[in-house]
Structure 1
Amino acid sequence: MKNLFLLLASSVLLAACGSETATSENSTETTDTLKETYVVGLDETFAPMSFRDSNGEIVGFDVDLAKEIGAIEGIIFEFQPIDWVMKETELNAGNIDLIWNGYTITAERKEKVAFSDAYLQNSQIIVTLSESTIAKKADLADKVVATQQASATLDAMNADETGIVAKFDGGEPILYPTFNDVFNDLESGRSDAIVVDEVLGRYIMKQKGADKFKVLDEDFGDEEYGVGIRKEDTVLQTAINEGLAELKENGKYDEIYAKWFAE
């Protein structure tokens, strides 16, 4: 009877170990396999990277890029507008799977997320109204300057080594939720100058009438855009990098670029 009890106990223990092994294997398989659908978090006012067209559809350079990579990798990307201030929090909480919206690669952000390979160059330009007497960065002293809150633009301004930001009227820039608000502030005369992403700034100026604005020769630095990904999602990161490389090789990237950035 004692031997029978030991035999039964051993069987239960082996079954439990087998179950644990199977669960571990299944977990690994899930982690190492792409899902069918991923949610992309974005700012729906950030033209031409992503914005709503006249039909209310989310369109843009990043949207087209994501769709093409999705077709290559056999996955679907769904686009979800978010509060841009909360982008990393939304990602790491699992509410979205990607930050894909003119998302600048910075050392600070690398501590919170993983990045895809860089896919677009950008700079932080200084824009005034065409009749403004502001001609160089130093002229921003004692002037009202606006930009977007929680943006790479703001980070670049604060990192500027000339110390000009501390000389702004109020000792800091005025912050708005979107770059649309920033441009409206300039046009209304509340701001003397604004600092914006070049890809967005030139697109908006083209829509509003480029002759209304002046872009200074000096800026707040160059940067690169990448896709933000949770650090543990290495398979997704690899898929996006492979997709980007294929689009650049087959010429589709250039087609998408010409569609959104042609003069």
Structure 2
Amino acid sequence: MFSLRLLVGFLISTQWLTGCVSTQHLAYFQDVSGQKASLTIPDRYVPAIQPGDILSVQVSSLNPEATSFFNPYAAITVAERGNVPMQVTNTTPLLPANGYLVDANGMIELPMLGKVKVSGQTITQVKDRLRESLKEYLKEPTVNIRNLNFRVSVMGEVARPSLFSIPNEQITLLEALSLSGDVTIYGRRDNVLIIREENGNRSFGRIDLTQRDLFNSPYYYLHPNDIVYVEPTRVRAATADRTNQLLPIILSGLSFLAIIVSQF
């Protein structure tokens, strides 16, 4: 009986420490009514190449023997890289160095073609330029380019904060939050921060996940190396403070009761 009372008291204390969060603050898109609604959203984001990017450039043509000269790096297959976003951890094996690093001047150096300016252009634009340049050396050349280091970070009040590698080079804020296990009950959904650095400039954007206007935000489509930060709510801070204050007292009390119980 005594042990049962002790257990009940401990559970009540734990519940009190956990605090409570109103379900009203947990819902997304709160301004969407039950009736059919529509919203015009901007075109999907197409990233531009930046200094620091690592590009995989694979050339093919009707003459495989001549083409091999333009492919000093082995192609990354789908089996090696995968076609779904990947969580990057301390134990994640690094991809082999089989890409071209875009230097500080926005250039890459290719066999025969020499230095080529690529920064500020989309992958499609660079592919078209290289294909035209390769016609001097190859018959009916084709070019495939992929950005090997398109990554976004998600941190703060989410279930699984992490750095994610995005092989298809397109991801939205909602998709990134889904990869991280969604915002916890202690995360602020009305004030998500996105930190973005492009061309030496750093910008900060705020998005309210409870409003459908988020689809029109320039921060809805994430860019390479974006950082998503979900702030904790006041309930989280208050809970942590109460836990730090009362947990030593509760543990001491439980230890004292355990000693008393052991005497009987």
TM tier, smaller = under 0.3
Higher RCO (Cα < 8 Å, 6 or more apart): 1
Question: Which structure would you say has the larger Rg?
Answer: 2
TM-score when normalising by structure 1: 0.24
